[in-house]
Structure 1
Amino acid sequence: MIDITVMDGDKGYKSLKCAGHADYDEYGKDVVCSAVSMLVINTVNGIEELTDTVFKITNSNSKDGMLEVVFPNETGKDATLLIDSMILGIKNVIKEYGDGFVSLKIM
């Protein structure tokens, strides 16, 4: 199961954490894991390249499927939009493949 937790703040998001594996299919053929990985990694890359939002990757381990990003000053408007888009994509993956492979929590 891939567990995704997004911590909401007063003016934007405070952190984003993605951990685990979908186990939808064997390694190299797992479309759920690929879709979620692409959404999360593209979001972080977009925040880095397209916004002024300051963030720190506090944990990254591809073997464990772990990526944790902290936004010390919360996210600005542009980064918030990118994360909202990621959340929409993850919700669509859950809708398409069921909730037994991906868990999304916004706290």
Structure 2
Amino acid sequence: MATEQQSFARTLRRQSTKPEVILWDLPRARRLDGLKFRRQQPLLGYTVDFLCFERKLVVELDGRQHDVEREYDAARSEEIERHGFMVIRFGNEVVLNDRDAVIARIREAAGTAPETPLL
């Protein structure tokens, strides 16, 4: 039987916003350096947008509602980070307009970014 948190996550997956769909298309099916990401995943009593458990990386997408939830989001991120996870956040506009920057930041956080040559 599914828990309330699992049911909530399932509902969020079915009601994805355009930026969530775009962001999910980048790492899904191990497309991003072979890393396994899950979306709308229950974690520590929260439902995080995207989770790569093997790298302990949480990727959050912040829409307009997050403007009024800044304190809650900060406390939530702090608690998740206390458990050894790294939380990175992107605004909707960044996902819609600069996917290369999003991919680069996720790779950097996951430790899979290509090394830059020394000059």
Common topology (TM > 0.5): no
Give me the TM-score of the superposition, normalised by structure 1.
0.29
Higher share in helix: 2
> Which of structures 1 and 2 has the bigger CA Rg?
2
Whose relative contact order is higher, 1 or 2, with alpha carbons under 8 Å and at least 6 apart? 1
Structure 2 length-normalised TM: 0.27
More strand by percentage: 1
